[in-house]
Structure 1
Amino acid sequence: MKLISVVAVGAALLTLSGCAATGTSASSQAQHASSNNSSVASATPVVTPTPTKAAPVVTAAAISADLQSKIPQVTHVLQITEDNDPNNLIGRPNEYTQAATLYDSRTPCTDIGADCGATIEIWPSAALATNRVNYIQTELKANPILGTEYDYAHGNAVLRVTGTMKPSDEAGYLAAWNAYFV
């Protein structure tokens, strides 16, 4: 009987000690959980977002200044206004809103327009810019006497480079144009 009493007392003590461990205060358990979680969290690397390059400013002045800085043969830039626009389109409904002519020393010209080197046009929308490129190319293909021209659209901006320029020289314009939008 003594043996049963000793076993019963021992069992009771074990049970009570187990209850004491599980009966620890909530703050003690929270601290324990917190310390366990912090060790897990510190083992996880923190991902820092890579900064992205700001979108380029899409104005005729900004693009033409950038191209002039990259193409040494561009001697000067003329901003086209409603007073000097040879096409008489600037600012009219569904036409370009800004434009600039880049004068290139490889193409002798004193007029205003793409024939002098290149022209940048800014349109109200990307669709209108693409329509402009398609229209010019369609007209030039239908009327070869008008000559040729290299035309590119990016968003609502259009680059027009004279077709009298050698393809290797025009490649410099295209490279500078593409670099501007990267």
Structure 2
Amino acid sequence: MRKALTLTAAVTVLTASLAGCGGSGSSGGDAAPAKSAPAHAASPKAAAAQAKPLTAQTAFAKVSADVSTAKLSGTVTADNDPNHLLGRPNQYTSKITFDDTRISADDVTGTDKGDVERGGAIEAFGSPADAQARAKYIQAVTKSMPMLTEYDYVHGTVLVRLSHYLTPKQAADYKTATDNLG
């Protein structure tokens, strides 16, 4: 009987201690609910913005606001996708292409409209892992082919692909814009 009372007392003390630890900042006192209310009131808007994934078009709008030399050149559809990846499992869900006016026309003579060499492309994916996998694949394929190398920047579910004709400093402008996608 004495062991049972000691065990019960120990469990009670332990439960009280754990409850005290959990109350810090989340449910203790009158100040916590007052702080939570404004954040909770704003959170549906914030949650909706975060729940809505970036498309290639919305990402381009944000990037081109920071890099004024980027000019939209095309929207990739299932009918015109040269890679036949749009909408396929683990592949991009939207894609746009763009030109960069800092790239000399002489450098891109013979390339097709929408080729990354002319400026770049933005691909949006269903998950960050898919965007990372695509960037790794492109880097692996182009590693031994200097004419096809490119700058690739991933931010969440978005992959920004850039022409190797851009200088490292010019590509850094896109890197900064990509990092600011939110």
- Report how far residue 64 of structure 1 moved: 0.7
Q: Match of 1:120, as an amino acid?
A: I
Identity of matched residues, %: 32
Q: Match of 1:80, as an amino acid?
A: V
Q: Secondary structure at the match of 1:67?
A: helix
Distance 1:157 1:76 in 2: 17
Cα offsets for 1:76-95 (capped at 9, x unmatched): 34211122222222122332
Partner in structure 1 of residue 155 of structure 2: 154
1:80 maps to 2:76: yes
Q: Secondary structure at the match of 1:173?
A: helix
Kept in 1: contact 2:154–2:178 (CA 8 A): no
Distance 2:89 2:142 in 1: 24
Kept in 2: contact 1:78–1:100 (CA 8 A): yes
1:139 maps to 2:141: yes
TM-align CA RMSD: 2.7
Q: Kindly name which structure, 1 or 2, has the bigger radius of gyration based on alpha carbons.
A: 1
Matches within 5 A, 1:23-172: 47=35, 54-55=49-50, 57-107=53-103, 108=105, 109=108, 110-141=112-143, 143-172=144-173
TM value normalised by structure 1: 0.65
- Alpha-carbon spacing, 1:61–1:178, altered in 2? closer, same or farther (3 Å): same
- Alpha-carbon spacing, 1:96–1:47, altered in 2? closer, same or farther (3 Å): closer
Q: Match of 1:86, as an amino acid?
A: P
Kept in 2: contact 1:117–1:161 (CA 8 A): yes
Kept in 2: contact 1:85–1:112 (CA 8 A): no
Distance 1:60 1:179 in 2: 15
Partner in structure 2 of residue 37 of structure 1: none
- Report how far residue 57 of structure 1 moved: 4.6
Q: Secondary structure at the match of 1:69?
A: helix
Q: Per chain length, whose mean CA-contact separation is higher, i.e. which structure has more relative contact order (CA < 8 Å, sep 6+)?
A: 2
Q: Secondary structure at the match of 1:79?
A: strand
- Alpha-carbon spacing, 1:160–1:88, altered in 2? closer, same or farther (3 Å): same
Q: Secondary structure at the match of 1:171?
A: helix
Cα offsets for 1:146-178 (capped at 9, x unmatched): 432111222221111111100111111111111
Partner in structure 1 of residue 22 of structure 2: none
Unaligned runs of 5+ in 1: 1-40
Distance 1:125 1:161 in 2: 21
